[in-house]
Amino acid sequence: MSFFKRLFSSKKESSNYGTSQSKNKINTKEYFDDRYTEDIIDPKMLEGCLKMIESYFIENKIERKIESPINHPINLDQVDQDGFGFLLYCKAFQIEESQAAMFLSYSFSDFLIKKYGFKLYIDSKPDYPLRSMTLKYEKDEVFLSLYPFEYTTKVLNGNSTFSDLVEKIKTQIDEMPDLEDL
């Protein structure tokens, strides 16, 4: 976890990562199209991520709480909390912490894309270093954004769980305003 400690404890220079936006700012379509590029998770990359998670369960003799899909948030929480730790497991394969976090981030993103209809975007002007990959949920031209890699680092540092985020997402989707209400 030293990678994350260094990352979060270092000085942050926002000038390199675009300008900060208010939570409820309304942007034009041109601004959105200039800043964000829709992307997909490479199927081979996702397959590798899911196999790594599956092998973690097998090697640690951990029974998944949710049989399918393997990347269900409850299972991802198990990967973080049960056994000897996913980061240490990946380290045994000479996989760096940031790559291990990306495995979980891609897996979690895939779950949200399939379950809730989020879309993956690359942000050309991220506000913070861990926010270049963003998931967006759209309802009548109103967007809900989240940052899967940043959130994954919070989970791996023990500050949250994937299950907690999914509960927050459900609530936020239900409470999303209409464009006219903004």
**Res 1 pLDDT > 60:** no
pTM: predicted TM-score of the whole model, two decimal places? 0.82
The model's confidence at residue 4, banded by pLDDT at 50, 70 and 90, is very low
The model's confidence at residue 50, banded by pLDDT at 50, 70 and 90, is very high
**Res 162 pLDDT > 90:** yes
**Res 62 pLDDT > 80:** yes
The count of other CB atoms within 10 Å of the CB of residue 49 is 24
Mean pLDDT of 166-179: 89
Q: Which pLDDT does position 152 carry in this prediction?
A: 95
How many Å apart are CA 71 and CA 29, to the nearest integer? 33
Identify residue 118 by its one-letter amino acid code: F
**Res 22 pLDDT > 90:** no
Average pLDDT, the chain: 86
Q: Is there a contact between 108 and 76 (Cβ–Cβ < 8 Å)? A: yes
**Res 2 pLDDT > 60:** no
Percent of the chain with pLDDT over 70: 84
List alpha helices for the chain, DSSP H.
Answer: 2-9, 29-35, 43-59, 73-81, 86-92, 97-116, 148-156, 162-175
**Res 23 pLDDT > 90:** no
Per the model's pLDDT, the better-predicted residue between 6 and 121 turns out to be: 121
Q: Is there a contact between 80 and 152 (Cβ–Cβ < 8 Å)? A: no
Instruction: Give one word for 141, left, alpha or beta, with left for phi > 0 and alpha for psi -120 to 50.
Output: left
Q: Which of 15-19, 51-55, 96-100, 111-115 has the lowest mean pLDDT?
A: 15-19
Q: Is there a contact between 135 and 116 (Cβ–Cβ < 8 Å)? A: no
Mean pLDDT of 67-84: 96
Location of structure tokens 């990678």: 3
Q: Is there a contact between 4 and 156 (Cβ–Cβ < 8 Å)? A: yes
Nearest to 121 by CA among 25, 31, 24, 41: 41
